Amino acid sequence: MELKWLEDFLSLARTRSFSRAADERHVTQSAFSRRIQALELWLGVSLVDRSSYPTTLTAEGREFLETAEETVRMLHASRLALQASKRPSTQVVSIAALHTLSLHFFPRWFRTIEKEVGPSGSRLLPDDFHSCLQALVEGSYDFLLTFHHGNVPILLEPELYPHIVVGMDSFVAVRSTALAGDDTASLPLLSYAANSFLGRVATFAQAQAGSPPAHVSHTNENAMAEGLKFMALEGYGLAWLPRSLVTREIDEGTLTIVGPEIPLEVRLYRSARRTRPIVEKVWNAAQAAAPKTM
């Protein structure tokens, strides 16, 4: 029996839909169904009534639901306790950050923080938005460093997960200057996965007045802006990218901006439940170093 089977079952019980639960768990519906069936096979009973819509639990499924919830809660709590017990020092802070921010923002920003709190160890998780958010909510990381735009809300309770705006950036559509002519109407669009955070921001940006019309010709399923940057440099089309990622290329003239700039905040979220001294020091230093004008 695998922990992910229990987490799948809890997602299905909550959403009452195989398709929505599969999206929530970031697997295909067929793979999700196989995992639910594997759990049922392990238990020896049917948990789901597949003859009804929306999906409902069988009597055995309802009985097992409380056990599954408690088991998942206890396993996560035990993992956190064990991780805390083996930490070599309380002067280590853990941060989950979007790929782009981990490369182009975090190193310089954390040096500023260390000037206030002193030399500190850091544990960095560079990943996509979903994985970073999950790391924060599950309690395995102290902070989340992410972009934010008002049209793509981050659904975290402010009391449990407060944030600080620690920087500003913008989202720009760029193309290679090596492409002939200035007509952007015929250029294909290099896209993020539709359900990714930057993909949703790009969808909003593309709908704004003045944005270049384009049809999608390439999609990066791993949502890495760096991948789209190099596709744009090779002349495959235009891409919406954080300006901080392409500042050098714009200054050098290898990429040019072809649409309006969409403002982005760089936000630092924390879990209010994690209150180690180093976490409080970093939080206070981040507040002190935050830009004064927004």
pLDDT digits (tens, 9 = 90+) for 205-247: 888 877 877 777 777 666 678 889 999 999 888 899 999 999 9
User: By residue range, what is the domain housing residue 28?
Assistant: 3-85
Examine residue 294 and state whether it is found in any structural domain, yes or no: no
Distance (Å) of CA 95 to CA 67, 267, 271: 32, 12, 11
CATH number at residue 202: 3.40.190.10
Tell me, yes or no, whether 35 and 74 share the same domain. yes
Q: Please tell me the pTM assigned to this model.
A: 0.66
pLDDT digits (tens, 9 = 90+) for 19-60: 988 998 888 989 899 999 999 999 999 999 888 778 889 999
Are residues 50 and 190 both part of a single domain? no
Same domain, 259 and 135: no
Whether residue 105 lies inside any domain: the answer is yes
Tally the domains of the chain: 3
Question: Do 159 and 212 belong to one domain?
Answer: no
What's the rounded mean pLDDT across residues 58-68? Answer: 91
Query: String of b and e for 80-94 (b: at least 16 CB within 10 Å)?
Result: eeeeeeeeeeebebb
